[in-house]
Homo-oligomer: A and B are copies of this chain.
Amino acid sequence: MNRLFALGLSLFISTMSWADVKVVYHLSEGIPQASRAIGNIRNHLNADPTAKIVVVTHGQGIDFLLDGATNQANQPFAGSIGELAGRGVQFRVCNNTLVTRNVSKDRVVMEASVVPSGVAEVARLQAKEGYVYLRP
């Protein structure tokens, strides 16, 4: 029985190490951080194409996910967001931030979804869904 238990446990652990890597990118700083994050995520997916990436934003971190947002070089974020969404990246925007900053949900790009709380989402993904953390 102990042998079978050990077998089962090692199978369980092996399964974990076969599983795809799941990563939450945590963004709260604003446009420069978002620009860095987009380059980071592109490199991340090139190095590990099966990585599952969720970008959770709150505070100034949501700015690049509003319609018409542009980076420091005045180039629109829309293309990069669409490209990454096409590679499976998910984007989430904090509703507390929308309310506090008086930003309408209508301004959030269609590739992003709204969650009640950005920080609670960052914690939940790690604690309940096996995501690891990365702050770009």
Question: What is A's interface to B at a CB cutoff of 8 Å?
Answer: 1-2, 4-6, 8-9, 12, 17, 19, 21-23, 26, 28, 36, 40-41, 43-44, 46-48, 51, 58-59, 94, 96, 116-120, 122-124, 126-128, 130, 132-136
Contacts and interface: CB of A to CB of B under 8 A. Distances in A.
A121 to B, nearest CB: 8
Given A59-B36, A127-B22, A122 B134 contact: yes
A58 B135 CA distance: 12
A21 B119 contact: no
Contact of A120 (B8, B43, B133): B43
Contact of A21 (B48, B58, B124): B124
A128 to B, nearest CB: 6
B132 A17 contact: no
Contact of A126 (B19, B44, B132, B136): B132
Nearest to A45: B120
Contact of A47 (B48, B117, B134): B117
Most chain B CB inside 10 Å of its own CB: which residue of A6, A26, A119, A127: A119
A68 to B, nearest CB: 26
A120 B9 contact: no
Given A26-B134, A28-B36, 11 more contacts: A4-B5, A9-B12, A21-B123, A23-B123, A23-B127, A26-B135, A46-B96, A47-B116, A48-B123, A119-B136, A132-B133
